[in-house]
Amino acid sequence: MTRSLLAAALCGLALPALLPTAAHAQADRASDRARALAQTAIIVDGHVDMPYRVQVSGADVGQAVPAHDFDFPRAKAGGLDAPFMSIYVGAAFQGTGGARAEADRLIGLVEGQAALHPDKFEIAYSAQDVVRIKKAGKIALPMGMENGAPIEGDLANLAHFHKRGIRYITLAHSRVNHLSDSSYDEERRWGGLSPFGRLAVAEMNRLGLMVDVSHITDAAFDDVMAVTRAPVIASHSSCRHFTPGFERNMSDAMIERLGENGGVIMINFGSSFLTAEANGHRRAMAEAYDAYLADNDLTHSAEREAAFEAGYQLNKPYPHADVSDVADHIDRAVELAGIDHVGLGSDFDGVGDTLPEGLKSPADLPNLIDELIDRGYSDGDIVKILSGNLLRVWRAVEAAAE
């Protein structure tokens, strides 16, 4: 398969731009009831890749940043109160070293945004902080670490990152690491969690760090369930039922078991997580490019690949999902695990130009609320999905540590 296409598809970060469509215009579907609920309820998002994006762009998200998905004006417009800032440490650091230092740099970047705009942002260290910061009219910035590589084989680093404000850890990312196998990696080194990974889960329980099972293999998920004594989260995953064979999403059995554990699955908004058609688009384009090189006796180059992609997408544009597809995943997860075990984990700024029609930024969150209203969800149940379920898990993890 083509190097850059598959790397982007697997990691869910730094995806190449797709052809512009009318979907870039912010949809305006929401009713007054949905907009009012978005502003009065607390909305928690399990995964926003603002730190990674800002590290690259240098943008100030306290102001409007149209090139990004997340910024303060659009978050306030859509009612987003507590986006978990993803401290994303790529798998490359597992080979080069420096994973802990990279995580510390990104945490400092989030702290810098809060310090630059103390009237807009505040770091949240607890579930109660989120409630307090919402009441103060500001956006809470809790933090979660995506990839356990910064632990670097030392359990003391878990306490270090907890002290710095990390409140969940995604055990692995796109490659197997010293904690766990990855759903994106064909190498299954540990057959689930490593022995150290089991110790790390127990230590996370002791410290009050939520365990995030997004990105890990099914076997690793089973190991987490066997070890943990607190509820766990899937911070940005969707239902495999709609994307057969895509291990990155959760199977029906896993979602059911997550509910039995008391945890929460937070639905990812990326189109490739939502529909089989979108999920297969990049792979089909990569296969077509490889065939093009072979048929014409050509070698790969970034320029040649970009030109091929542009032509390919003229004939086969990316099939964006719709806000209704997100609601389909919510319906499925509620059916399997119950209304108390579903949340939102958008992956804003992490899935490139693959966000659904009508859900292109936090400003569009009322559109999703409106869809849930239309499907018969009560305001109380919608509030559970928006934040109540995640805040319950967070408090349970805090209590288990105490």
Give 210-239 pLDDT, tens digit per residue. Answer: 999 999 999 999 999 999 999 999 999 999
Once rounded to an integer, what is the mean pLDDT over residues 236-258? 98
The reply to whether 123 falls in a domain is: yes
Q: How many CB atoms lie within 10 A of CB 19?
A: 13
75: CB partners within 8 A, 6+ apart: 83, 139, 362, 363
Which whole number is the average pLDDT over 137-149? 98
pLDDT at 7: 41
Instruction: Report the pLDDT value the prediction gives residue 76, as an integer from 0 to 100.
Output: 98
Structural domain boundaries enclosing 335:
3-14+29-275+319-401
**Whether the predicted pLDDT of 24 surpasses 50:** no
Classify residue 384: in a domain, yes or no: yes
Average pLDDT over residues 335-359: 98
Cβ atoms 82, 42 nearer than 8 A: yes
Lowest mean pLDDT among 3-12, 107-116, 305-314: 3-12
Token pair of 215 as six digits: 């990105």
Tally of helices (H runs) and strands (E runs) in the chain: 18, 10
**pLDDT tens track for 352-391:** 999 999 999 999 999 999 999 999 999 999 999 999 999 9
193 — phi, psi (to 5°)? Answer: -85, 150
In a domain, 160, yes or no: yes
> CA torsion sign, 242 to 180 to 169 to 389?
positive
What distance in Å separates the CA atoms of residue 298 and residue 39, rounded to the nearest whole number?
55
- 300 assigned to some structural domain: no
Q: Specify the number of domains making up the chain.
A: 1
Q: What angle do CA 73, 78, 83 make, to 5 degrees?
A: 80
Distance, in Å, from the CA atom of 357 to the CA atom of 55, rounded to the nearest integer, reads 27
> How far, in Å, CA of 34 to CA of 43, rounded?
13
pLDDT one-digit tens code per residue, 67-120: 999 999 999 999 999 999 999 999 999 999 999 999 999 999 999 999 999 999
pLDDT tens column, 264-296: 999 999 999 999 999 999 899 999 999 999 999
- Identify the pLDDT of residue 28: 60
For the beta carbon of residue 220, count every other beta carbon within 10 angstroms.
26
d(CA 92, CA 175): 9
* 11 vs 221, more confident: 221
How many CB atoms within 10 Å of residue 314? 9
Q: pLDDT-based confidence at 2, cuts 50/70/90?
A: very low
Task: Classify each residue of 298-311 as buried b or exposed e, where b means 16 or more C-beta atoms within 10 Å of its C-beta.
Answer: eeeeeeebeebbee
- The pLDDT of residue 68: 98
Of the candidates 361, 317, 367, the residue with the CA atom closest to the CA atom of residue 68: 361
Task: Determine the pLDDT at residue 315.
Answer: 92
User: pLDDT band at 146, cuts 50/70/90?
Assistant: very high
Query: Do residues 78 and 366 touch, judged by C-beta distance below 8 A?
Result: yes
Return the CATH number at 97: 3.20.20.140
Count CB-CB contacts under 10 A for residue 264: 32
305: in domain: no
- Pair of tokens at residue 23: 């979907």
The answer to whether 312 touches 16, Cβ cutoff 8 Å, is no
Query: Residue with structure tokens 């070698």?
Result: 299
Find out whether 146 and 139 touch, Cβ atoms under 8 Å: no
* Amino acid, single-letter form, for residue 316: K
- Min mean pLDDT across 28-42, 159-173, 368-382 is at 28-42
285 found inside a domain: no
Could you tell me if residue 135 is inside a domain?
A: yes
Computed over every residue of the chain, the mean pLDDT equals 94
d(CA 100, CA 88): 11
d(CA 137, CA 135): 5
Q: Is residue 280 part of a domain?
A: no
Distance (Å, whole) CA 265 – CA 212? 10
Q: Is 302 helix (H, G, I), strand (E, B) or coil?
A: helix
